[in-house]
Chain A
Amino acid sequence: MYQFSGKLKIFSLALILVGALGIAFSFFTAPKTVEDAKEIIANQSHGDAHGTSHDKVVEGTHSNEGHSTTQKHDTSGSHVGEGNIDKEMSAHGAHGDDSHAEHVLHQLQNRPWSAFYVALFFFLGISLLVLAFYAAQRVAQSGWSIVLFRVMEAITANIVPVSILMLVFIGLTVGHFNHMFSWMTPGTFDPSSDNYDAIVDGKSWWMNVPGWAIRSVVYLLLWNAYRWFIRKNSIAEDTANDGFKTYKKNYNASVIFLFVFMITESMMSWDWIMGLDPHWFSTLFGWYVLATLLVSALTVIAFVTIYLRSKGALPSVNDSHIHDLAKFMFGFSVFWTYLWFAQFMLIWYADIPEETTYFVARFSEYKLPFLAMVVMNFAFPVLLLLNSDFKSIPWFVVIGGVVILAGHYVDVFIMIMPATVGSQWYFGIAEISALLFFLGIFIYTTFSAFAKANAVPKGNPFLDESEHFHYYNIEHRGEGSADHH
């Protein structure tokens, strides 16, 4: 049985501690008043606060959108996030600098929250999709992946702490501790208020605070309920010996979960991500979020498997299992690209203003990450993992996987940041510490959960098939051709 080593435990706790300190620092240093924001704006226009690349991004915005020079730091992306576009524009024209500074202040105050939220959503989504992939493997009665079941179960243990943090985040958001969801601004649904937004008001049957909070809690409860049930009964399966009664129960539970998951995943992506841009809508969005998280989830499964195998904790896992995981990473990278392009191209082609603002904001202010993401999530993994031999070599899979994970973090970053911080984005202490914090939690929960159960799910009827799984095309290391059957 696997022993969660003290070294790894200390490493993960150190990550959590360093991350937590960084997060606290980023909240502490966020500007509190309009005067702070003005000072930061003044520094920015001299180009010494945020570096040259950031300045370039800001300049690009102006020329692309044809804003007048008096509205120096305005960006349509933030307008979309902040409320009615026309009203916002005229407000800027009338009040000039003060309203602009207030606008930037909100973005700067959102930054530590957004940095935390990006990492939170990324890790929650990865654990959730590992759970969904695991359920799909059970429902498909796949013969290859049984020896990886305990790895996947261990990763899903991460859902529990991350869900709790998500609940805290939901509570703080509902309590108006942050301004990430612009439609939660008081007065948005009140025609007599300055903040009234007729477009968002028309959606208030869905976008209202109690509904949003209740739905969010329900998603988390449903996911955690399945995870709790399947983990308990998967371990019970090992010793059940009841004519596969437990196995069938787990099968049925997984069928139901996949149905619930597909619905809650779509709704979750509307509530937690698309809701950040309340003026914008896209029908493909749920699938797109699914694809980005699914690729990351498969990569994480491959990483944990490769690590545990190198520690000798997974004796039945052979090169063919790694090969299959890499095939999934490859295939779903292409699937992600397909959905990303399908969404982008349809909006670019028709160029309907209310839809296009979404990509204008991203293309003008986030050009480098927006384009780099396509290279990292498509071109690189496709070229690296196309070759069948490469897919069974762990270090190739790790190199491909690191780029894929970084690319999909950037993807989530670009889904969230333009709506909350607009042009005030930066990849700095706030973002890195949030990543480290959640990485620490991930390592701690995953490996302590893996140490708690037998690494081989003995009760599964497909276990023998999985242990002898062999993809005909590749030569396993340490085996001669005589071993082929």
Chain B
Amino acid sequence: MEASKVIHAFYTDDEVLLDAVKAVKAKHHHIEEVFCPFPVHGLDKAMGLAPTRLAITSFMYGITGLSIAIWMTNYIMIQDWPQDIGGKPSFSWFENMPAFVPIMFELTVFFAAHLMVITFYMRSRIWPFKEAENPDPRTTDDHFLMEIPVHNNEEELTELLTNTGAVEINIVDKH
């Protein structure tokens, strides 16, 4: 069952935050989310997040782009209308292949880059006019926020978080 209450612990330093995350994980509490104004190196490892598979999707998108480039150059230049343009050999795709390499390269990069970015947007749920989800505006400036769901253990969590150096601890209703 989804917890109706969450605890918000604020930190003002990324090193303190990193140690706090490790302490909370050591006590086997689930960390719902951490909000940071900038990337904190090692935070994903400390939280135990699974590595991203974005690079793998990008590789497959690149192969898709390469295949499309090969198909297009072959269909247009060789199959559909094999004209003699400046003496270039249009008898088969391989004979004229060097001339197609620049477009093959560019389409590979184009597909790999753009589709990966779109994948990132979709997986991260980012789009124009999306309502911002930050629970406290200070997390975009100089504060770090750790969100932990509460299961009737408010006191224990509050004490633990105070010991980790939190500057402010709030218990809020999650809607």
Do B98 and A484 have beta carbons less than 8 Å apart? no
The smallest C-beta distance from B19 to any residue of chain A, in angstroms, reads 11
Contact A472-B42, Cβ < 8 Å, known A345-B98, A345-B101, A349-B98? yes
Tell whether B45 is near chain A: CB-to-CB under 8 Å. yes
Tell whether A27 is near chain B: CB-to-CB under 8 Å. no
Do A484 and B101 have beta carbons less than 8 Å apart? no
For A482, the chain B residues whose CB sits under 8 A away are 22
Tell whether B59 is near chain A: CB-to-CB under 8 Å. yes
Q: In the complex, which of the residues B22, B41, B46, B87 contacts A472, with contact meaning CB atoms closer than 8 Å? A: B41
Do A485 and B42 have beta carbons less than 8 Å apart? yes
The smallest C-beta distance from B98 to any residue of chain A, in angstroms, reads 5
Tell whether B167 is near chain A: CB-to-CB under 8 Å. no
Flag A323-352 by CB within 8 Å of B: 1 or 0 each: 000000000000000000100110011010
For B46, the chain A residues whose CB sits under 8 A away are 481, 484
Do A484 and B87 have beta carbons less than 8 Å apart? no
Within 8 A of A (CB), among B81-132: 87, 98-99, 101
Closest-by-CB residue of B relative to A346 is B98
Tell whether A386 is near chain B: CB-to-CB under 8 Å. yes
Closest-by-CB residue of A relative to B102 is A345
Flag B43-84 by CB within 8 Å of A: 1 or 0 each: 001100000000100010000000000000000000000000
Tell me, in angstroms, the Cα distance from A271 to B121 when the chains sit together.
Answer: 54
Chain B binding site: helix, strand, loop or mixed by DSSP?
helix
For A344, the chain B residues whose CB sits under 8 A away are 98
Tell me, in angstroms, the Cα distance from A351 to B99 when the chains sit together.
Answer: 12
Do A484 and B45 have beta carbons less than 8 Å apart? yes
Do A484 and B59 have beta carbons less than 8 Å apart? no
Count of chain B residues with Cβ under 8 Å from any Cβ of A?
A: 11
Do A341 and B87 have beta carbons less than 8 Å apart? no
Do B59 and A348 have beta carbons less than 8 Å apart? no
Closest-by-CB residue of B relative to A389 is B51
Flag A451-485 by CB within 8 Å of B: 1 or 0 each: 00000000000000000000010000000011011
Within 8 A of B (CB), among A337-375: 341, 344-345, 348-349, 351
Q: Can you list 17 pairs linking A and B with CB atoms under 8 Å apart?
A: A341-B101, A344-B98, A345-B98, A345-B101, A349-B98, A349-B99, A351-B87, A386-B59, A388-B55, A472-B41, A481-B45, A481-B46, A482-B22, A484-B42, A484-B45, A485-B41, A485-B42
> Given known contacts A345-B99, A484-B45, what 15 new A-B pairs fall within 8 Å (CB)?
A341-B98, A344-B98, A345-B98, A349-B98, A349-B99, A351-B87, A386-B59, A388-B55, A472-B41, A481-B45, A481-B46, A482-B22, A484-B46, A485-B41, A485-B42
Task: Mark B residues whose CB is within 8 Å of A.
Answer: 22, 41-42, 45-46, 55, 59, 87, 98-99, 101
Task: Mark A residues whose CB is within 8 Å of B.
Answer: 341, 344-345, 348-349, 351, 386, 388, 472, 481-482, 484-485
Q: Which 5 interchain pairs have the tightest Cβ spacing?
A: A345-B98, A484-B42, A348-B98, A481-B45, A484-B45
